[in-house]
Chains A and B, each alone.
Chain A
């Protein structure tokens, strides 16, 4: 730990020497530990163009979250804008002999492809490392200040400010974030229809019961209506099995006639949306936090214990909650109050499940859309005072001298269900003093060496196995 703290201190020292770029949260929806953090870096924006960059970034992000499923789940994301300042405005176009001095070295004509923009990933990493922790950059997007169509995909999505920029990035996010395949059928890359693809949105399977987006052979878990022919003729509405996908004109199939993974400007389509939502839930729990944080709780019979869930908030639907006490449904709201008086003494299980009930996800075998929580609630038994608590003072004579003893006795109260023992106190001015802890089978106590003329008041409590005291029985011995 000491070494860790030293390292943090060293980082801070180093950080003060190299000035980090200004970072502005432009969507703040919650803690990064349960959000997907998007980082936008600008390239080719000069110091005097920072306002333009801010506006471009806002337009871009608004476009990104203008389409499903990102529209519905926008609150699951944070977005940070990093103000990267370049010396020159624009980007390199080597084929035209145009070269600009920019912070991230954005260049068209990358690898001889006119519309491919490459950036220097080492410089991108250096900016990121100066600006944000690694845990706050799940999606990195570089916005290049050039209106000409261009971009690239991969670990870092790159786009120009061309009006198609949002579409390019959404398609690339479909790959890098959603793990989706291209649904278009043109080569290159080479077609390989000899094995089943790994991706969720392409298949070579033609048996409707085995198609990966048709779990159970159709609704409610699958997406292909029973009336839909399989394979499905092109231009047929709805989800089906459309031939031509992943660079193959035959032998591989896609879920819809067209989608964003096939053509820019189209919606993702139900199967891709389902996969993207599951990928969102790969990084985000549907419940932000639970209270109480402790998972083992104690309550006396008269206590009311409150439980609550702070749930995520999709745009148009709610996270469903279900609360169970000992396996019995006890509530479906964001909070639950358990009256311990209604429970027997001992351990009880309180379970909660928050689940996104969106109809956009029909099959979730890994239960990514769910977050369970379990508490153990120990209800302390009701206790009553011991019965017939009495005392007497006796003289105990021996060969040398006499000794006075207070002899206390009591009986077990049959109303007590669960007694772990007794505690005997001596009442004193301003309080009481513990004299003895007694086993559950004890029904007499002798206090030796008391004064002949003194009086003492004794308090006797029954105690649960967990240590909770019941009300006292009292006796004064003179």
Chain B
């Protein structure tokens, strides 16, 4: 009886939302980013560059995804790009870097000092428009060079259609591409620097999904 009473309410919420400007439903995907060679509780003082990304869980909700009006980048955030089965970018968002842990405290004189630590394993949840048909999620780390941000691909994961959860691992040398953002036009992609693949058309440089990553399935995700 409990679910029978709730189910129409959820449908109604989705239907009401459909009449507005926002997507009716959200696909929430909880991801686990792990660093090979480190224990799950390890903290490192150097930002890890090699990761595995796995889907921990996913669910649909009737709430619309959060609004992000300006994708202002920071080295303390990550960029998540959702790609459809054709390699088209269908969603992009920024999130706080789930790996980062700031240890800040004042000394006896009240002066602050900090240490930046990085979790070897971090979980986070992304909220995707449910109708975007996201097939692959790619996680990038913005790197600032004094003039613009480059996006370094950390890892990607495929969202299996049949509900199975698979994950891919990537070798560090294959994660060497950068995509630059113009500093005055936050979030606008204007150039690509190449270190691992070749962009073949202008349109492709506007997408975070264009390049083919040579990755291999290493097994089913643990839960």
> Which residues of A approach B to under 8 Å, CB–CB?
4-5, 7-14, 16, 32-34, 110-111, 113, 115-116, 118, 121-122, 125, 128-129, 133-136, 138, 149-155, 168, 171-172, 175-176, 179, 182, 184, 186-189, 194-199, 247, 262-265, 278-279, 281-285, 293, 365-366, 368
Contact = CB atoms under 8 A, between A and B. Distances in A.
A199 B105 CA distance: 21
Given A111-B43, A122-B123, A176 B96 contact: yes
A135 B104 contact: no
B125 A11 contact: no
B116 A189 contact: yes
25 contacts: A8-B14, A8-B62, A9-B3, A12-B3, A16-B2, A33-B67, A34-B67, A116-B105, A118-B101, A122-B32, A135-B26, A135-B127, A136-B63, A152-B103, A154-B100, A168-B104, A179-B77, A188-B114, A195-B145, A263-B106, A263-B110, A282-B68, A282-B72, A285-B67, A293-B20
Contacts of A196: 146-147
A118 B115 CA distance: 13
Contacts of A285: 67, 69
A203 to B, nearest CB: 11
Interface residues of B, number: 71
Given A8-B60, A196-B146, A196-B147, A16 B110 contact: no
Contact of A116 (B28, B62, B77, B103): B103
Contacts of A199: 74
Contacts of A152: 101-104
A328 B165 CA distance: 57
Nearest to A124: B123
B127 A133 contact: yes
Contacts of B112: 171, 182, 184, 186, 262-264
B113 interface: yes
Nearest to B20: A293
Given A176-B76, A282-B69, A134 B61 contact: yes
A328 B144 CA distance: 44
Interface in B147-189: 147, 149, 183-184, 186
A212 to B, nearest CB: 10
B144 to A, nearest CB: 4
A12 B6 contact: yes
A184 B11 contact: no
Interface string B76-113: 11000000000000000001111011111110001111
Contact of A155 (B2, B10, B104, B124): B124
A111 B117 CA distance: 9
B124 A125 contact: yes
